[in-house]
Structure 1
């Protein structure tokens, strides 16, 4: 169910990116790089969606070819199962934790003594994810089978992410931001409940399907947020919060 939900969101993201590129033909609100970025994201989202359903095999039930029978980990007609699952999940975790949680929070906390802050200042403000995107990604990382040798790194990364969120909340003085504070509290409570009831994620693939769905929704929200800000000539979220 969650896998199909991810497919629908990915296809919607692909269509959205195509619509933005089409609208840019008249409005001209994208740079050449941004236009290329949207075209690439449209193709990438479609590719991932097709990979999720094994290019229609899971829907129509056709047989895998000899190559995929011999080399695919699940004997399905897709490319991502040709490599070890641990490699793929590690790559996804690096992107989610690094690009959408830890690095943005370090930058938003404005620790100017860190060399990282100067290094990240070159990235245009429009591309930085809002702290609501960060919350969505942190929530996605809470959805895993705790107290397992396989997921210990996920648990460690989640704890680090929650600490970083609390530091950001205190340093930027967001106590008066009721919406963000409430959502941060919900993420912390959910993480605690999921840890206490970790057996609900005992089915190996289920935890990853749910997490992938939340991550895909977070990426979609991020793309919609900054692209519509460009289109409507609104300031970047990074300027709005300051």
Structure 2
């Protein structure tokens, strides 16, 4: 009897050691075939985190199916790398006030009011789906025709959308800023142009600015994890560092 009991215990131990890996492999195969992600693996890749909740002054578009990359083509887009929080001065949150503020940090409307290039769309998760850019401003090199010079020689520019739908009516401005090449290069983005364009916008906002008798200065919060880093889904295949600047613009 003792020998039989010992044999049964040995058999049970062997099964416990060698059975688990076999079951695990079968489960992994089922996961691969079904397309489901194995438990414990992260849902997001390339530095992106789950949608941010309880943010002040803006709402993460991903909570309602939006994203931090606009739609330049069917497959690719440009990063929405700056947010002007709705905690900012109310004047800046209105379209006309925002245009005046943009002038104070070195941008102006397009040359002679004429648009060049594609119209970009963005889904801010506010219930309005993909909507066309509200504003496109270019670097204003000098008075009168300063933005016309940008159209020729290249420089900084940005597109802006306001988050104002019923699902996310924050009133914040979502901005895609970049640095582009001259017209002979068909205004393609410079190497590292998305990061450089964002930084130029942010540096001037944080430094302080004025226009038409009004003065502003912005506080800056840097966020990571809102969009992937690298060049996944990014237009022209230009990598980004994945950082988004949250600006709160104060009127002085």
- Which has the larger strand fraction? 2
Structure number with higher helix proportion = 1
Greater RCO (Cα-Cα under 8 Å, separation 6 or more): 1
Task: Indicate whether the TM-score tops 0.5.
Answer: no
